[in-house]
Amino acid sequence: MSTWNIDVYGVNGVLNVYDGQLGTEGGGLSEEIDSTSRGLDMALENAKSPPVETALAGFLENYAERTESMFLKGLSCLKGAADATVAYQRGDHEMALTAQEDAGNIDALDLDMGGEGS
């Protein structure tokens, strides 16, 4: 492995900015996705034409899948960079490399999407 020289405080600053843009605690991309979904839902409820309803439903499904993937991939990158930086700071370069490799991998988030109330 090459020698790393990470500015931990600088990375933290960048991650905080990105976290706000992603909207993990509200706002950002998350709010834009939700707002657009609500607008599409309203359009679907008010459509009085079966072909328009079919087209809107298909678009909404595609939109939901793509934006969920986009958000989760961003979250995975954020988590991977944070985990890699923490491992680096602790001197665990092998764990840092693993975290870096997991960045961008949605499966590495280990989300429990199956249960309600979680």
Instruction: Give per-residue pLDDT as tens, 54-91.
Output: 999 999 999 999 999 999 999 999 999 999 999 999 99
Residues 6+ apart with CB under 8 A from 17: none
Structure tokens at 100: 């870096």
Q: How far apart, in whole angstroms, are the C-alpha atoms of residue 50 and residue 93? A: 57
Say if CB 99 and CB 76 are below 8 A apart. Answer: no
Residue 118 lies in a domain: no
Residue 87 lies in a domain: yes
SS3 97: helix
What is the domain extent for residue 98? Answer: 8-106
pTM (two decimals): 0.84
Say if CB 89 and CB 99 are below 8 A apart. Answer: no
- Average model confidence (pLDDT) across the chain: 91
* Number of domains composing the chain: 1
Residues 6+ apart with CB under 8 A from 31: 23
Residue 83 lies in a domain: yes
Structure tokens at 32: 């834009």
Convert the pLDDT of each residue in 85-102 to its tens digit: 999 999 999 999 999 999
Residue 82 lies in a domain: yes
pLDDT grade, residue 117 (50/70/90)? Answer: very low
Share of the chain above pLDDT 70, in %: 92
